[in-house]
Amino acid sequence: MKKEDELTVKVTKEIVVKFIEVGRLTVNTFEEAWGSIHRTVRNSLNQDRED
């Protein structure tokens, strides 16, 4: 796994854990939320590299 991919997964995990802790995310919405958060983090990291 590339370093960028590993970083994306770690950041996504931290965000998802925080959302679960504050009650914004449930088991029923996990899959959709993970995909959305992961895409956002990945796109953000890619954008930062391009700048």
* pLDDT, mean of residues 43-50: 82
Q: What is the pTM (predicted TM-score) of this model?
A: 0.84
The pLDDT assigned to 51 comes to 65
Confidence of residue 36 (pLDDT cuts 50, 70, 90): very high
Mean of all residue pLDDT scores within the chain:
92
Structure tokens at 28: 């029923």
Q: Using alpha carbons, select from 10, 2, 1, 8 the residue that is nearest to residue 46.
A: 8
The pLDDT assigned to 19 comes to 95
The pLDDT assigned to 47 comes to 84
Cα–Cα distance for residue pair 12/6, rounded to 1 Å: 10
* pLDDT, mean of residues 20-48: 93
